[in-house]
Structure 1
Amino acid sequence: MSKRGNQSSFLRTIIIISTFGGLLFGYDTGVINGALPSMSKAFGLNSVTQGLIASSLLFGAALGAVFVGQLSDHYGRRKNILYLAVLFFIATMGCTLAPNVTVMIVFRFLLGLAVGGASVTVPTYLAEMSPAERRGQMVTQNELMIVGGQLLAFIFNAILGNTMADNIHVWRYMLAIASLPAVFLFIGMIRVPESPRWLVSKGRNDEALRILRQIREENRAKLEFNEIKAALAEESKMEKATFKDLSVPWIRRIVFIGIGVGVVSQVTGVNSIMYYGTEILRDAGFETSAALIGNTANGAISVLATLVGIWLLDKVGRRSMMLTGLTGTTLVLLLIGIFSFVLKGSASLPYIMLALTVTFLAFMQGAIGPVLWVTLSEIFPLRLRGLGMGISVFCLWVTNFCIGLIFPILLDKIGLSATFFSFAIIGFVAIAFIKKYLPETKGRTLEELEHYFRTYDNRDIQNDLNTIEAAGK
């Protein structure tokens, strides 16, 4: 094999190994979907304790994304992922062997710290290891691994739930499977190098250049090494935004939009389906074994829709994709509310419900999911990106936590129909927010967007941006 072939093969190995962090993210967030029915019997759970067990991971993820992810700036991306692999393993085994609800919640919280840390560190590592022209493609592979991990969780849940239906502790086997990719991630990360960009930031230039030569051609390695040094020198001169800057109206407005985009992506109720899909199908009339099998369709459509969404990203505007996705999910939520009320007790309801949740996830993962992270990365000017992304992602996870906590309580107290009518109402509010406040970022420079936010109040966003573009010509 040629040297260039060896470099490409090594880079592919790095990507596969590191994205096991995304696989763990997906599996650990999805496995609770099928584990809850048998766990409820073992622990005698009510709607409140179900919500606490499911959402404790999400609260941990909110803190992990903000604090654990930042440790990679100090210890390095590779070492941080190694530590996260250890935390994934310990927390997974703690959940698997938990003797009671309290211990389960504690270890689910620790698992959330690992999930949140991985959600920040793995994409950063991938972006810094990838060639510029392939960066988007390689980073989005982590998104595929996340939904792939959720699909694997649903498949294993269905297999174990049907072959061990009489075993009250079947949920322990479902949770334990996540320990295997954690071990693989740890062993794999020992064999891969540190991010060259992080090494240059720490003054370890010789080591950074040596690693670049392992994954790039010689001339490309030297060119990229010099570009990294120049970029870091420029960043060191740049004054980063702080919380004090939120007193500036245009900065406050753009952070408000970032928070809104993050919250909107979660208030669709997507994670009520990803975390409680089995419970929803059971409530609609499926037996537990059938609900576990049916729920695998939700995982499969998530993977397929994510592939379609990634393909559409460079062809369709971000704002129009987000509005299409929100319109689709909101209408489906409305239909779920209507059918679960009109056809309650009907033999056809479970199948209609499954078709609707699959349709919902097609809109969500195909139009909203892929746009979310791209939009957040594009709306913030460079000096504001650290502060803006940090606040937005934290609010995203907190919203996710709140939905994970209250959904089973709503399902128990007001029923399936009223719960989804509530999500539909929120969906209409989300559509209005995106239509009014979110600018189209596709094909716009950061400077154009910053000029818009500095200069204009809340008018018709698309017309204003067209005016800016016309003036530039």
Structure 2
Amino acid sequence: MENKRLVIHSKQDIIDFVSTNPISQKGMLIVFVALGGIVLDAYDLTSIGIGVNQLTEDFNLSPAQLGSLTSVMAVGALLGALFGGMVTDKLGRNKMFLVDILLLVVAAFGAALAPNLEVLVFFRFLLGVGIGLDVPIALSFIAEITNTKRRGQLVNLWSPVWYIATAFAGLLLLPIFFLGIDENLWRYAVGFGGVLALIVLFLRFKFMDESPIWAAKHLPLKEAAKIVERTYNIEVVVQELKEKVTKKDDKVALSTLFSKKYRMRTLSASILAATESMEYFAVMFYLPTISMLIFGKGTIYGIIGTVVFNCCGILGGLFQSYLTGKVGIRKLAIIGYSIVCVALLTVGLLGKSLPAIFVAILIGSFIFGHAFGPGAQCMTMATLSYPTELRGLGSGWGQAMLRVGSIIGAFVFPMVLALAGLEKTLLVVLIAPVIGLIAVSLIKWDPTNKNLDSDTETEFLSKNHSKLSV
């Protein structure tokens, strides 16, 4: 930082400083530590997906039971996201960060050691609750530690991080497979998720601090100033001005998201999240199975296919993050939806007559388009569409809508796949991106490069608070 000394007179000075100044080196480190929950979510989805055939044999699962097992985590995440978003807006980001990771550690090890389906379902549910709590907090935190210009770009980093974690899951399991100790492959995979959670817990305990903007809104000015001082490594001098003291009510109802000012933002974020998760979870959870359908039977094809296909997601995720500030969240979503629709339609109609390599290219294009567009933009839209007072709640609502879509995709896909085959199933999945493309094209809202912690947003919440909290 060029300015080694910052004088602040009010909480708005802190908000303005964070919104206009480059993120510090420590801040960038904290951003990646905050994304640890994204790594755990992506890793768990991929790792259990790789072992799904073995898991099915171990517990003699029917398609309906398998759908229930894969979707129960989404049910837990839905509940965690709804309640976690509300709680983190009141208690702060950092406290919740540590609580939800502890839950993930317990749940991952419990699932790996599960003796029967019932115990496995229980711990998968807890795992979902932990993820549902963590993701809205992480994205809210990143939004509140970065300036307005780079906010969308850095929040959107969650997408490439997700795909890096999914590719890592496949690479991690390759040595286990080649060593010939893959009898309990899915248990090793899920259990290692607990080890990753412990690593994330340590890093958060060591490096994380409270969000500067949340602190400015909720803590005494001197405490908030100390957080800015630690985060940006500058001297902060408080020369507090006397301000009119008003009684503060921390309660913000979910209905606030559907008030006249915010309802179209919430509708756009909801449709984005629900439709992208339907298409993603319907395809990506069973990516190892799809890889084996394309390349040939055998666990090795499932693992290699998972790694290769997710590299397409890494490219799409990195590309869109770079373009976010220039193109905008809404346009990126429209472009991504279009790529997804073309890929799904082509495989659905021509998949049986195409060589395996062309089918693989189309599936890779689907993953690239998803990561470039709706897959990344859904949570970024939900996180950046609201001011700090609502950000955890809004991000949590977006995560809840994402889990609604994932429940549908993860539960319905195995049954449709068993009855209709890959091509017809992908035509059914095509319904989701078509709906999303139409909705985002019609709703013009785009929060890219907007400062929603401005006085006008705060005044709206203050004037309408009592009515909206009833």
TM-score (norm 1): 0.80
Matches within 5 A, 1:114-129: 114-129=130-145
User: Quick check: 1:95–1:107 contact (8 Å CA) kept in 2?
Assistant: yes
The Cα offsets for residues 451-471 of structure 1, whole Å up to 9 and x where unpaired, read as xxxxxxxxxxxxxxxxxxxxx
Structure 1 counterpart of 2:52, which letter? L
Counterpart position of 1:213? 229
Could you tell me how far apart the structure 1 residues matched to 2:158 and 2:94 are? 16
Counterpart position of 1:70? 86
Bigger helix share = 1
Counterpart position of 1:375? 381
- C-alpha distance 383-213 of structure 1, shift in aligned 2 (>3 A): closer
Could you tell me how far apart the structure 1 residues matched to 2:271 and 2:245 are? 33
Could you tell me how far apart the structure 1 residues matched to 2:256 and 2:31 are? 38
The Cα offsets for residues 386-443 of structure 1, whole Å up to 9 and x where unpaired, read as 7655544322211111111111111012221211111224433333333333445557
Structure 1 counterpart of 2:160, which letter? L
Could you tell me how far apart the structure 1 residues matched to 2:63 and 2:132 are? 25
The Cα offsets for residues 331-359 of structure 1, whole Å up to 9 and x where unpaired, read as 1111121233435xxxx43x333222111
Matches within 5 A, 1:53-452: 53-130=69-146, 134-164=150-180, 167-195=182-210, 196-200=212-216, 203-218=219-234, 221-222=236-237, 243=255, 246=258, 252-267=263-278, 269-288=279-298, 289-342=300-353, 348-349=355-356, 351-377=357-383, 389-439=395-445
Deviation at 1:238, TM superposition (A): 11
2:67 aligned with 1:27? no
Higher relative contact order (CA 8 A, sep 6+): 2
Counterpart position of 1:463? none
SS at structure 1 position matched to 2:144:
helix
Structure 2 counterpart of 1:243, which letter? S
Could you tell me how far apart the structure 1 residues matched to 2:401 and 2:121 are? 21
Structure 1 runs not aligned, ≥5 long: 451-473
Could you tell me how far apart the structure 2 residues matched to 1:311 and 1:45 are? 43
Deviation at 1:327, TM superposition (A): 1.6
2:57 aligned with 1:47? no
- C-alpha distance 314-240 of structure 1, shift in aligned 2 (>3 A): same
- C-alpha distance 145-431 of structure 1, shift in aligned 2 (>3 A): closer
User: Quick check: 1:326–1:364 contact (8 Å CA) kept in 2?
Assistant: yes
User: Quick check: 1:302–1:362 contact (8 Å CA) kept in 2?
Assistant: yes
TM-score (norm 2): 0.80
- C-alpha distance 444-76 of structure 1, shift in aligned 2 (>3 A): closer
Instruction: Single out whichever of 332-341 and 127-136 deviates more from structure 2.
Output: 127-136
SS at structure 1 position matched to 2:430:
helix
User: Quick check: 1:27–1:149 contact (8 Å CA) kept in 2?
Assistant: yes
Percent identity (aligned) = 22
Structure 1 counterpart of 2:255, which letter? F
Could you tell me how far apart the structure 2 residues matched to 1:197 and 1:250 are? 22
Instruction: Single out whichever of 96-105 and 143-152 deviates more from structure 2.
Output: 143-152
- C-alpha distance 260-421 of structure 1, shift in aligned 2 (>3 A): same
User: Quick check: 1:331–1:424 contact (8 Å CA) kept in 2?
Assistant: no
SS at structure 1 position matched to 2:423:
helix
Aligned length: 434
User: Quick check: 2:74–2:404 contact (8 Å CA) kept in 1?
Assistant: yes
Structure 2 runs not aligned, ≥5 long: 5-22, 457-470
